[in-house]
Each structure stands twice: as structure tokens, then as C-alpha cells.
Amino acid sequence: MKAFVTGGAGFIGSTLVDRLLESGHEVVVFDNFSTGNIAFLQDALKSPRFRLERGDLLDPGVLANAMRGADLVFHFAAHADVRFGLSHPRRDLEQNTIATWNVLEAMRTNGVRRIAFSSTGSVYGEAESFPTPENTAYPIQTSLYGASKQAAEGFLTAYCEGFGLQSCIFRFVSILGERYTHGHVVDFYRQLMEHPAYLDVLGNGEQRKSYLYVNDCVNAVMMATEKATDPVNIFNLGTNEYCQVKESIQWICEHLGLKPELRYSGGDRGWVGDNPFIFLDCSRIRDLGWKPQFTIREGVIRTVDFLRSQE
Amino acid sequence: MKAFVTGGAGFIGSTLVDRLLESGHEVVVFDNFSTGNIAFLQDALKSPRFRLERGDLLDPGVLANAMRGADLVFHFAAHADVRFGLSHPRRDLEQNTIATWNVLEAMRTNGVRRIAFSSTGSVYGEAESFPTPENTAYPIQTSLYGASKQAAEGFLTAYCEGFGLQSCIFRFVSILGERYTHGHVVDFYRQLMEHPAYLDVLGNGEQRKSYLYVNDCVNAVMMATEKATDPVNIFNLGTNEYCQVKESIQWICEHLGLKPELRYSGGDRGWVGDNPFIFLDCSRIRDLGWKPQFTIREGVIRTVDFLRSQE
């Protein structure tokens, strides 16, 4: 199979690329390196089955050319920043919605029929039921990130219906692990390296969040794209647990041997649009035979170890 | 109140404009006249409280200037064509999603806080429960039109959360009545004027559809924008009934005194992405005190009378 991976130089994308190459596939990475990192492709670049295409998803001609001959598109490029969406509201629209639409059009141009898409559990907004299943009550979007991903999902499934594409859509919780570049673990880690005596925390620390270790995530993506056969297959991806921000802080501090003063900003959420409780029902992907190998705690600690190894 | 009505020269928009002027409000219409009709504004143009701005929603600077000083935006401009979406897939993205995003940004620039938005029952895709309530199971989009409107809703509600806007979102069934310009009644009427002996019908005639008379629709929009106070208020709009396509054909033919041969193309839907059953639960808007004055049959017949008056 020839896989075309957008965002293939990113955290999750590059981990997927390594796995695809290990499995014997041909891989083309398409990345604009806005947040991607060439170092994440150091193994991939040694493979004769690998090709790197530098380009932007907002440039439809370049994209369509690069995609020629692909069998399966892994669309993993995104502006993956829930927190700062309000500072640059057009970015989510462009990088997540319009970019996805461009990917769909490039697939149509090239006759590529299969797509796997990295969506997000943020599409549930502030969900009403926990753990939240894929067919929960029609959500109201509360973040530009969630809105832009929901929009991308919608166009994608309309293309499946209208143009005969086949898709797997993954609604991820936050992903952790090696190559992790942003999110609470890196924020806390950097703070603690700078000032080990105290830690500033957004909200009251009681927000309940879900995380998944990146290799478990990639396992699920590989399994689902092999096994799922409906025109549209939507999967939540997460573990069977969630944790409070303050628990994660405790794991990080213990692992680093630090006892900082915790300075909470207060309130039940970290920022406007922050979702105080994320916990997804992942029985659909489990029914395919997938099971995560790592707990949230193990994912957090591996992430800290990765950050430490980068010093 | 100073109302800013996008698509105000269109079928529903212009009917709303007349109502707003009757109610004593100031009205600015913003329309690119791609499908709008200046004749629909002949009464409005006589009012000193009315101003017409010709412009395109894809031109953010012009839009922001025109909106200055508005109190409430009625965003009713759309590419309102479910059936031919696949022939020009970019149009839904641009005219419905990006255009809505531009409206939201113009509101932010101008400090306009309130918006009423014409969404669609098509956002439910092929719904699983009937009558379909606003909080039905998370739908999968099956048309580009539905996808583009869902996307617009998502950005709109994220703006409500992030920037403090207040919104009413209306998920319409198909609207009928005076100034009606496209849809099954006009298709059938035109065919029957051209060849009264037969009528070509897409599908098997058993598709179950819902319709609402335009003045009932405008009544609901006026009432909801006056009464709804949540940051986000979503309302289905339709009657308590649905009809089969073949019933509507019968009403039209009887009213015209014709007995054409019915030539069905067959299949349970009219085209790829056609939704064979649309029936919305409208108890939420009814709970505000709204009630439609006209049945679907009356709406169909008034539409035929309107089309006849245009000959």
C-alpha cells in the first residue's frame, strides 16, 4: 500500500509513519513544517520506501500532484491548539476545515478512495453523557478547534456519501508520549525546570481529562484502517480512565523528585472554551480488538522522560 | 433596533425584511444578488428606514463596513441547493461556511452581539429518530449542504462561547410560499406548464418530506429572537406533519386541474445525498408560543398560486 500522510512530520503523524514503514508500506509525507520537525523523520528518511514532500495543504495544486498514486490518505495535519484558538480565529478555519476540504478534493482529482482522519474528542463540546459515545446527543461547539474539526468531519462524510470515499474518523483524547510538543505536560515540565519551587496551574486542578499514549493511538489507527469496512467509521480513541489535572501534576512532580508550591489560577476550567471533563466511550474500537497497553499515568511519565531526554 | 439582513433580497430574507420594517425596525440588507431579486424589495425600498448594500460576504472589508452600527444580524444568505452540491463542491464551503465565518468576524469587528442564523434540518443527515429533536444523536453528514451548514453552526456557537455572542439558530425544513424560487413545487409546476400530459419525478414518490409556509417561518424567527435569552438557542422549524412527494404532486395537479402521467425515476431517494425522510420535532419553538398557521397542503397551494401569478 502507498500511504500519503499529511502532517507526517508531526508528533502523531511521524509515529504513524514509522509504523507504516515497519509494516512494509510505501509512505509519502506531506508537511509544511509549521509545527513538524524533520528530526522526527530521521529513521523514515533512511528508507527507500519513503518520500518527503514539503508543501502546504492550502496550495491545492501542489497537494494534488504530491498525492498522485496514493492508496490511502492519513490526514493528520492540523492546527492542534484548542487553547489559543481565540487569539487567531481564522487559523482553525484554514488549517483544519479548508485544508481538509482541499485534501478531499485532491483525493477526488486523483481517484484516491480511502482516508483516515485525525479528529478530536473536542467535537463533543461540553458533552452531556460520560463516558461519551460516538453517537451522543448532537453537541454544541464551544471551541474554534472543535468547530473546525467537526466541520472537517462533516465535509469528509458528505464526500463519502457523494463521491464514494471510505473513511475512518478518529476522535482522539489528548495524545502523550515521545515527540510530544505541546500541552499540559510540556507546560508543567518547562515551568518546573525554570522554577522548581512553584508551579502555576490554570483552573482549580480539578478538571478531568483523558490522555492516550501515542503508540496505543497508532495501534488503533492501524487496526481500524485494516478492519473497518463501512463507508464511514467513527471511533473514539482513549483509555478506560480519566485523571484530574492535579493527579497528573502529582505524577510529574514525583517522577522529577520535586515538591513545588501549586499556584492555582482558580475556576473550574483553564481558559474560555476549556472543557472541564473529557472522557470518551471507546467500546467501538475495543470491539475491533484494540486495547491500550499503557495507562494515563504511564503515558505521562514516558512523556516526562522524553522531555528530559531532549535537554 | 437596527437589523442587518444578509441574503435580504432572497426568498425568506426579503419576507423577513418586510416584517421587520412593518414592526418599525431599521433594516440594512446585504446581498450580492446571485440569487436575490430586487423585485422582492420593492416595498422595502420605499421605506426611509431601509438601506440596501450590494456586496459579497466573501469580501470581508465591504461586509464589515456595511454592518457598522447594527444591533442584530439576521444571517440568511446561503447557497441553498442540496441537490446540486456535488456538481460544485466548493460552493457550499465558500457560500455557507466561510461566508458565515466572515459574518462572525465582521460582528466581532463591529461589536455586534446578536445573530439569528438560517441553518437547515439537513444537518441531521439521515436522522435516526422521528420526529427529530434538536438534541438527537450526533448525526453523520450526507450532503455538502448539510455539512456546510453544520460547519457554520459550529463556528457560530464557538464564537458565542469565545466572544460572548448571543445566537438563535434555526433548522428549517423546506420553506414554501410567495417568492419561492427553487425546489420541487417549481420543478413540477414548470414541467406541467411545458407538458401537462406527464410529470417526471425523481425517486419513487414515497420520500417523506416536511415543508413550512414562509410567513410561519418568519413568525417563528421574529418570536424566537425576541424571546430567547440563552447564549445559544437552537430551534427546529416545521409543522407537526410531513407529506409524501406523491401527495404533494396530487395537491399540485388537482389545484391546476391536471391529470398527468407520473413517470417515476425509481429508487427510494431523488438523488445521491437526498434524504428520504425529514420530519422535525418542533416542540422547543412551540413552547415559546409559536404555532404555524398553514398546513403543508396550504403552503404548497399558495406556492402554486404564486408561481401562476408570475406567468
Q: Which three cell numbers stand for residue A225?
A: 484502517
Q: What is the pLDDT of residues B120-152, one digit of tens each?
A: 999 999 999 999 999 999 999 999 999 999 999
Q: Which 3 state secondary structure label does DSSP give A52?
A: strand
The superfamily in CATH containing domain B176-209+241-279+290-309 is UDP-galactose 4-epimerase, domain 1 (3.90.25.10)
pLDDT of residue B81: 74
Cα–Cα nearest to B207, from B175, B247, B166:
B247
CA A208 to chain CA centroid, Å, is 18
Query: Given an 8 Å threshold on Cβ–Cβ distance, is B139 in contact with A138?
Result: yes
Pick the residue from chain A with its C-alpha nearest to B161: A142
**What whole-number distance in Å separates Cα of residue B13 and Cα of residue B188?**
24
Q: What is the pLDDT of residues B272-302, one digit of tens each?
A: 778 889 999 999 999 999 999 999 999 999 9
Residues of A in contact with B98 (CB under 8 A): 93, 98
Q: Give phi and psi for B282, each to the nearest 5.
A: -105, 25
**What whole-number distance in Å separates Cα of residue B152 and Cα of residue A225?**
29
Cα–Cα nearest to A160, from A108, A221, A118, A120:
A108
Query: Given an 8 Å threshold on Cβ–Cβ distance, is A272 in contact with B162?
Result: yes
Task: State the catalytic residues of B.
Answer: 145
pLDDT tier for residue A270 given thresholds of 50, 70 and 90: confident
Q: State which fold the B2-175+214-237 domain adopts.
A: Rossmann fold (3.40.50)
pLDDT of residue A81: 74
In chain B, domain spans: 2-175+214-237, 176-209+241-279+290-309
Query: Given an 8 Å threshold on Cβ–Cβ distance, is B138 in contact with A143?
Result: no
> Which residues of chain A have a Cβ shorter than 8 Å from any chain B Cβ?
85-86, 89-90, 93, 97-98, 101, 104-105, 108, 124-125, 134-144, 146-148, 150-151, 153-155, 157-159, 161-163, 232, 234, 272-273
Query: Given an 8 Å threshold on Cβ–Cβ distance, is B144 in contact with A155?
Result: yes
CA A167 to chain CA centroid, Å, is 17
CA B166, B169, B175, B179 dihedral sign is: positive
Query: Given an 8 Å threshold on Cβ–Cβ distance, is A140 in contact with B97?
Result: no
Q: Tell me the average pLDDT across A233-251.
A: 96
Q: Of B93, B134, B142, which is closest to A161 when you measure between CB atoms?
A: B142
pLDDT tier for residue B185 given thresholds of 50, 70 and 90: very high
pLDDT of residue A268: 87
Look up the CATH architecture of domain A177-209+241-280+290-309.
Alpha-Beta Complex (3.90)
Neighbours of B105 (CB within 10 A): 19
**What whole-number distance in Å separates Cα of residue B171 and Cα of residue B237?**
6
Q: What is the pLDDT of residues B17-35, one digit of tens each?
A: 999 999 999 999 999 999 9
pLDDT of residue B86: 81
pLDDT of residue A83: 73
Beta strand segments in A70-133, E: 72-75, 114-120
Eight-class DSSP state of B137: B
Cα–Cα nearest to A214, from A10, A7, A51, A5:
A10
Residues of B in contact with A124 (CB under 8 A): 138
Q: For domain A2-175+213-237, give the CATH number.
A: 3.40.50.720
Q: Radius of gyration (Cα) for chain A, nearest Å?
A: 19
Q: What is the pLDDT of residues B155-183, one digit of tens each?
A: 999 999 999 999 999 999 999 999 998 88
B2-175+214-237 with B176-209+241-279+290-309: one CATH topology? no
CA A4 to chain CA centroid, Å, is 17
Pick the residue from chain B with its C-alpha nearest to A98: B93
Eight-class DSSP state of A277: B
The pLDDT of residue B83 is above 80: no
pLDDT of residue B32: 97
Q: Of A144, A148, A158, which is closest to B147 when you measure between CB atoms?
A: A158
Residues of A in contact with B147 (CB under 8 A): 151, 154-155, 157-158
Q: Are B91 and B57 in contact (CB under 8 A)?
A: no
Q: Tell me the average pLDDT across A21-35.
A: 97
Residues of A in contact with B231 (CB under 8 A): none
Cα–Cα nearest to A271, from A188, A199, A202, A174:
A202
- Written as one letter, the residue type at A47 is S
Active site residue A124: no
Residues of A in contact with B150 (CB under 8 A): 150-151, 154
Query: Given an 8 Å threshold on Cβ–Cβ distance, is B147 in contact with A134?
Result: no
Q: How far is B305 from chain A (nearest CA, A)?
A: 35
Pick the residue from chain A with its C-alpha nearest to B125: A158
Pick the residue from chain B with its C-alpha nearest to A144: B158
The pLDDT of residue B85 is above 90: no
User: Could you say which of A124, A145, A189, A242 is catalytic?
Assistant: A145
pLDDT tier for residue B213 given thresholds of 50, 70 and 90: very high
**What whole-number distance in Å separates Cα of residue A159 and Cα of residue B282?**
29
Q: Are B244 and B205 in contact (CB under 8 A)?
A: yes
β-bridge mates for residue A6, sequence order: A30, A75
Pick the residue from chain B with its C-alpha nearest to A158: B142
Q: Are A73 and A116 in contact (CB under 8 A)?
A: yes
- Mean residue pLDDT of chain A comes to 96
Query: Given an 8 Å threshold on Cβ–Cβ distance, is A138 in contact with B141?
Result: no
Interface with B, mutate which of A100, A101, A128, A153 (most B CBs under 10 A): A101
Eight-class DSSP state of B119: E
Q: Of A86, A140, A155, which is closest to B147 when you measure between CB atoms?
A: A155
pLDDT of residue B270: 80
Q: What is the pLDDT of residues A115-146, one digit of tens each?
A: 999 999 999 999 999 999 999 999 999 999 99
Q: Of A125, A140, A232, which is closest to B140 when you measure between CB atoms?
A: A232
pLDDT of residue A274: 80
pLDDT of residue A200: 96
Q: What is the pLDDT of residues A43-77, one digit of tens each?
A: 999 999 999 999 999 999 999 999 999 999 999 99
